Structure 1
Amino acid sequence: MSQASCVPVLMYHHVSPSAGMITTSPANFEKQIRGLARAGYHSLTGDEFAGFLQGNAVPKRSILITFDDGYLDNYVYAHPILKKYGMHAVLFIITGLIGEGAARAHQGSSAELPSTPAHKEAKALMFSDLKDKVMLRWSEIELMQREGSFEFHSHTHTHERWDLIQSDAISKNTKMTADLADSRRVLKEKLGGVSDHLCWPQGYFDEDYIQLARDAGFKYLYTTDAYGQNIAGHDPAHIYRFAVRNRGFLWLAQRTWLAAHPYWGPLYNQWKLWKRARRKKA
């Protein structure tokens, strides 16, 4: 069996018919997942991806599919599609925003589907008393975990940018330490355990945060940086992910191929970083 030298990590947020930013429609998501499955891609678990970074062999066409935050639409639309094609994803949940109650309907069931608002409305609701309208419940998480479509890891407890709220580094670090501890505690209480995978809230991290995460028991730290490659031996404290667009499988196939290619991938990343730096100077 040929082995992967690089594993692209895909980043999703919403799968919903409500169009908007960081949202993939259910139709395009199904095209993407069906295309990956038919093309022979293997969707890794978090443990398999961690093993790859440590030097363990994984199939050549390996990817890691990730979702951030824990929106209800991940259960309503993404879960049944992943299950249908035997694919697996990692979901980083904001533990303080997950609700209680019975599991709601998802696509393919006979019951009426709950509303899944676009990102702008969801963001306004997720930190309010109405967060249950847009966020997952623990019962839904347990069902998704049991049926193998998703596994669940920490995205902190509050999703706060403490660096923007606190006036000094000591206060910022104290708040983040508590945030990480609360997230780990809730995951243990609700799911029976917590992993060493963490996704940074709002993509922000600094050297203090990296050390705090390590001290808390996290090793695999996921960024929103797109322009780098995850290869064996790569620093697990800086995992690259690229955002998936609301496009069909052809776009995703091209982007995934580029992310993993040993020659064209680094060139593409250098070009994109050069363009970004040029824009900042303008």
Structure 2
Amino acid sequence: MIRAGLTVLSPRGTRARLSVFIWHRVAPTPDPMFPGELHAERFARTLGWIKRWFNVLPLDEAVRRLSDGALPARAAAITFDDGYADNLTVAAPILQAAGLHATFFVATGYLDGGRMWNDGLIEAVRRSPLDVLDTPQWGRFSLADWRGREAAALRLIDQIKYLEPTAREQAVVDVARAAHTTLPTDLMMSSTQVVQLHRLGFAIGAHTVSHPILAKISLPRAREEIGGGRDVLERLIGARVPLFAYPNGKPGRDYLPEHVALVSELGFDAAVSTAWGASASGDDIFQLRRFTPWDAGRLRFGIRMAQNLAQPLREALV
């Protein structure tokens, strides 16, 4: 029933719509601080549904076939953002077991011991020995249980997210110091792990160097971030990197029309946003939509994907 409904919403050919899944991490076991987040058992179950209901293609092939009006019914692609080490150690073996392809968008500035700012905040809160975290600038938070720690991390992320990058990194240092925490250096992939992922047959995509909010930085710096990240990856894997993912990816807020033009000018074949929905023939291939279904149950997951496909087509995102 679900498969038939998805076929109606996304038939083959010129009326096809491309569903692109986006994830970031796959934990080996459930995370007590974020119990709703993806873990290995749940990811394997989710891939089983996706394989049964969708025709999963490599993203670069899906883009070409979308442009040509030649997608199969229920076309889909799988993507991961940022470059977490568990993409190789946890997600990749599960994808291989399911026989499914994925594209991994990597922010190169965090390779080899780096750490994304939001993870710095999460790990500062997770690892703190304190029952109360008192930060003069960002507030006072209860860390008495996992629910309190989750709420504290999310509130800190929300407050700090749109700071200028240098100030944002300093805020992470300040929070970690207040939390009496030493931050980890093994959350992201090493350069060697990126190469290993590529050699397994998965695609590597560009995701800037330092994951800035492009709308908040100058256009020359955006050019350096976008092109520089791609150049590092191409040297690493010894192959062209044709696909790009906008950091955060909300059109009109995180990136603007000039960034779409810049990605095209720099020679990428396509780019992905985080705008919900599915892309149709004639849509801007430099603003492909992506979606993360969060339902853990089979029926709700299928309904959610149908709802995503059924969203009305819109004009250009930005």
TM-score (ref. length: structure 1): 0.74
Supply the AA of the counterpart residue of 1:66.
Answer: T
| Residue in structure 2 matched with residue 9 of structure 1 by the alignment | 20
* Residues in 2 aligned to 1:81 and 1:10: alpha-carbon distance in whole angstroms: 15
| Residue in structure 2 matched with residue 79 of structure 1 by the alignment | 92
| Residue in structure 2 matched with residue 181 of structure 1 by the alignment | 227
Using the TM superposition, give the Cα deviation of residue 40 of structure 1 relative to its aligned residue in structure 2, in angstroms: 4.9
5+ residue gaps in structure 1? 101-116, 167-171, 270-282
SS in 1 for 2:18: coil
Closer/same/farther in 2, CA of residues 75 and 23 from structure 1, 3 Å limit: farther
Task: Indicate if the aligned counterparts of 1:98 and 1:132 stay in contact, CA closer than 8 A.
Answer: no
Task: Indicate if the aligned counterparts of 1:45 and 1:90 stay in contact, CA closer than 8 A.
Answer: yes
SS in 2 for 1:66: strand
Task: Indicate if the aligned counterparts of 1:224 and 1:242 stay in contact, CA closer than 8 A.
Answer: yes
* Residues in 2 aligned to 1:27 and 1:119: alpha-carbon distance in whole angstroms: 26
* Residues in 2 aligned to 1:233 and 1:77: alpha-carbon distance in whole angstroms: 36
Supply the AA of the counterpart residue of 1:256.
Answer: M
Larger gyration radius, structure 1 or structure 2: 2
Match for 1:160 among 212, 233, 248? 212
SS in 1 for 2:77: strand
5+ residue gaps in structure 2? 1-10, 114-118, 125-156, 158-167, 174-181
SS in 2 for 1:202: coil
SS in 2 for 1:177: helix
* Residues in 2 aligned to 1:240 and 1:176: alpha-carbon distance in whole angstroms: 21
| Bigger relative contact order (CA 8 A; separation at least 6) | 1
Task: Indicate if the aligned counterparts of 1:29 and 1:248 stay in contact, CA closer than 8 A.
Answer: no
SS in 2 for 1:221: strand
Task: Indicate if the aligned counterparts of 1:13 and 1:23 stay in contact, CA closer than 8 A.
Answer: no
SS in 1 for 2:312: helix
**Does residue 69 in structure 1 map to residue 118 in structure 2?**
no
* Residues in 1 aligned to 2:121 and 2:200: alpha-carbon distance in whole angstroms: 27
Supply the AA of the counterpart residue of 1:147.
Answer: L
Using the TM superposition, give the Cα deviation of residue 153 of structure 1 relative to its aligned residue in structure 2, in angstroms: 0.3
**Does residue 134 in structure 1 map to residue 183 in structure 2?**
no
* Residues in 1 aligned to 2:262 and 2:62: alpha-carbon distance in whole angstroms: 22
Match for 1:198 among 240, 244, 264? 244
Give the aligned CA root-mean-square deviation in angstroms: 3.0
| Residue in structure 2 matched with residue 121 of structure 1 by the alignment | 123
Match for 1:256 among 277, 289, 305? 305
1:176-220 Cα shifts (integer Å, max 9, x gaps) = 111122112101210112333111112211012112212211241
Closer/same/farther in 2, CA of residues 235 and 163 from structure 1, 3 Å limit: closer
How many residues are treated as equivalent by the alignment? 238
